[in-house]
């Protein structure tokens, strides 16, 4: 498949995915954003998009279900996320690591009905290590592992000036390796982890599964394949396994 065909199909997939999502009241604004990105991809020669914060409200039926610290006091909970993606089309078609830019921020915030001065926040940040920083890290011979694709709790969304941490202690969060996600995979991650009731209603729908599987195969399979192939020096590696998994003991080839 050539790059223009893939981009055109991606635009159609975003639109079809939106058709599934818009049937859920809480996801109507998300579906609208997908339609907008879909229309912008049509006729383009590259895959590149960046969103402003997209909001999904938690209503009385969709409160976070497990291990929620403010189960009896949190009100007006909202999940916001933004994503930036820029893909090298040639690498994508050839099966190489395609992301030039990948960044995903997830923020949940609300109010404490028992304390109007208490701000409630939860944040996760995913990104791709910038290639310029990779070169700088290697030049300085940094000893800290820094997976090319990783997530961190907090990021820049939790600051001491805004949050009363109470008895909780937060250190510099480790960078935990995680496969990259374009918009389809990011939405599935958000729904499955933070809106499981909605996810359980739509994950079995034929169109949802068909599109999700396509993007899992395109962006997740080669990530894990590179790691698996690194254990056999006779197998090719289209993605650099050491970049995505720095703790991996390199096999001499």
Looking at the structure of the chain, the number of domains it has is: 1
Please check whether residue 253 lies inside any domain of the structure: no
pLDDT at residue number 251: 59
Task: Tell me the residue range of the domain where 195 lies.
Answer: 3-244
d(CA 38, CA 168): 42
Please check whether residue 251 lies inside any domain of the structure: no
The DSSP result for 169-209, as a single string, is ---PPP-EE-----HHHHHHHHHHHH-HHHHHHHTTSHHHH
Q: Give 159-198 pLDDT, tens digit per residue.
A: 545 555 555 556 566 888 999 999 999 999 999 999 999 9
d(CA 5, CA 20): 23
Which residue matches tokens 């929620």?
Answer: 68
Half-sphere exposure of 132 (CA within 13 A, CB side): 1
Please check whether residue 252 lies inside any domain of the structure: no
Please check whether residue 7 lies inside any domain of the structure: yes
Please check whether residue 71 lies inside any domain of the structure: yes
Reported pTM: 0.88
Question: Considering only CA atoms, which of 119, 146, 150 is closest in space to residue 133?
Answer: 146
Q: Give 195-226 pLDDT, tens digit per residue.
A: 999 999 999 999 999 999 999 999 999 999 99
Q: Are 219 and 239 in contact (CB under 8 A)?
A: no
> What is the rounded (10 degree) CA torsion for 195, 199, 201, 204?
-170
């Amino acid at each position: 498949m050539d790059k223009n065909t893939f981009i055109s199909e991606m635009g159609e997939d975003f639109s079809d995915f939106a058709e599934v999502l818009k049937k859920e009241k809480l996801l109507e604004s998300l579906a609208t954003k997908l339609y907008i990105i879909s229309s912008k991809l049509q006729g383009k020669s590259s895959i590149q998009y960046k969103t402003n914060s997209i909001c999904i409200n938690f209503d009385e039926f969709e409160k976070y279900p497990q291990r929620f610290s403010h189960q009896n006091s949190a009100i007006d909970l909202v999940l916001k996320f933004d994503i930036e993606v820029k893909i090298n089309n040639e690498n994508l078609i050839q099966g190489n690591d395609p992301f030039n830019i990948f960044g995903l921020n997830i923020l949940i915030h609300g109010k404490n009905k028992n304390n109007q001065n208490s701000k409630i926040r939860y944040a996760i940040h995913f990104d791709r290590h910038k290639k310029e920083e990779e070169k700088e890290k290697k030049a300085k011979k940094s000893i800290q592992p820094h997976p090319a694709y990783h997530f961190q709790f907090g990021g820049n969304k939790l600051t001491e000036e805004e949050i009363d941490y109470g008895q909780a202690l937060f250190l510099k969060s480790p960078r935990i390796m995680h496969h990259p996600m374009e918009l389809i995979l990011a939405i599935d991650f958000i729904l499955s982890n933070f809106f499981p009731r909605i996810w359980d209603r739509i994950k079995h729908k034929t169109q949802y599964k068909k599109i999700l599987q396509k993007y899992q195969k395109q962006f997740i399979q080669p990530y894990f394949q590179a790691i698996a192939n690194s254990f056999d020096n006779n197998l090719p590696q289209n993605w650099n396994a050491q970049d995505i998994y720095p703790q991996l003991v390199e096999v001499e080839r």
